[in-house]
Amino acid sequence: MSVGGAISVREASKIYDPDGAGVLALDRCSMEIGKGEFTVVVGPSGCGKTTLLNAIAGFHELSGGEIYLDGRLLSSPSRPARPGSDRIVVFQNGALFPWMTVWENVAFGPMAQGTLSKEAAKAKALSGLEAMGLSLIADDYPGQISSGMRRRAEIARAMACEPKVLLLDEPFRALDALTKTVAHQFLMEVYDRDRPTVFFITHDLDEAVFLASKVFVMTTRPAGVKKILEVTLPRPRDYRLLASPEYQSLRAECQDAVREEALKAFSAGEREM
């Protein structure tokens, strides 16, 4: 059972290539994310969402400001960024080891951490795969299963390390609509069970409102927070929710805010990333 951590982003700024072209990707961006909150981040392409995720993950330093996890400084200009097993990233283009079976992939993290024996890690992997509806393909290799199953296996692999924070960068972008709804259902079940803090980036506003406790709509680059939508729809959620007036009204509010920023980005000449 993992327990989420609270993330505090305080006036975070990031300039790429400060001595050359100087791309300002984040400009004094502040965000408070509570323990176990399901946060979804939406905003125009190229606004700085991945930059923020990478800073939280510890993949690069900030140019200004700080990021804290449960009150502990993770990142600041004077502190070299460092990834940690308390923050696990699931990328857009998956990264399962093709030479390992699915369960071996999921067991890899706990075994590498040295916290579990091989047998215990296998038992944990099988239970995580069951929660993601993947028991039947535990002995298959990543190349033998569908892309929707691979994405779910990656989430099972991330959760096996019991991270405080699960960071997902458009994880279901390449999935067709039906496969995506299946992936949502399993992700929600795992979230309801383990309650990690989730930081989930997407372009899909239906996905955003359906999954989130809170949606952060970002401004066009440099990213700052334009609007916060509290999604108080009850959990567990299922697809009947999409027809409810509460859902429809949140979805419309989210779309208006994103559209306004996307139009600004378009006139500023940003391109699809």
Ligand X SMILES: Nc1ncnc2c1ncn2[C@@H]1O[C@H](COP(=O)(O)OP(=O)(O)O)[C@@H](O)[C@H]1O
Residues that bind ligand X (CB under 6 A): 16-17, 23, 25, 43, 45-51, 221, 273
Report how far residue 95's alpha carbon sits from residue 150's, in angstroms, rounded to the nearest whole number: 9
Would you tell me the crossing angle of helices 147-159 and 118-131 to the nearest 10 degrees?
A: 130
Among all residues, whose Cβ is closest to Mg ion?
A: 50
Q: Angle at Cα 251 formed by Cα 250 and Cα 254, nearest 5°?
A: 85
Residue 46 near residue 265 (C-beta atoms within 8 A)? yes
202 binds Mg ion (CB under 5 A): no
Q: Could you tell me which of 273, 170, 167, 166 has the C-alpha nearest to residue 220?
A: 273
The letter for the amino acid at 178 is L
Report how far residue 54's alpha carbon sits from residue 68's, in angstroms, rounded to the nearest whole number: 14
51 binds Mg ion (CB under 5 A): no
Report how far residue 177's alpha carbon sits from residue 168's, in angstroms, rounded to the nearest whole number: 18
User: Cβ of residue 50: shortest distance to Mg ion, in angstroms?
Assistant: 3
User: Cβ of residue 225: shortest distance to ligand X, in angstroms?
Assistant: 13
Q: Which is nearer to Mg ion, 52 or 160 (CB)?
A: 52
Q: Which is nearer to ligand X, 16 or 141 (CB)?
A: 16
Q: Which is nearer to Mg ion, 46 or 128 (CB)?
A: 46
Report how far residue 33's alpha carbon sits from residue 9's, in angstroms, rounded to the nearest whole number: 8
Q: Which is nearer to ligand X, 252 or 273 (CB)?
A: 273
Residue 251 near residue 33 (C-beta atoms within 8 A)? no
54 binds Mg ion (CB under 5 A): no
User: Cβ of residue 258: shortest distance to ligand X, in angstroms?
Assistant: 12
Task: Tell me the CA end-to-end span of the chain in Å, nearest whole number.
Answer: 36
User: Cβ of residue 233: shortest distance to ligand X, in angstroms?
Assistant: 26
46 binding partner (options Mg ion, ligand X, none; Cβ < 5 to 8 Å by kind): ligand X
17 binding partner (options Mg ion, ligand X, none; Cβ < 5 to 8 Å by kind): ligand X
Number of H helices, E strands in the chain: 7, 10
User: Cβ of residue 200: shortest distance to ligand X, in angstroms?
Assistant: 13
User: Cβ of residue 118: shortest distance to Mg ion, in angstroms?
Assistant: 36
Q: Could you tell me which of 246, 241, 242 has the C-alpha nearest to residue 230?
A: 246
Q: Which is nearer to Mg ion, 128 or 171 (CB)?
A: 171
Please pick, from the candidates 13, 39, 50, 54, the single residue that binds Mg ion as defined by CB under 5 A: 50
Q: Which is nearer to ligand X, 15 or 116 (CB)?
A: 15
Return residues touching Mg ion (CB under 5 A).
Answer: 50
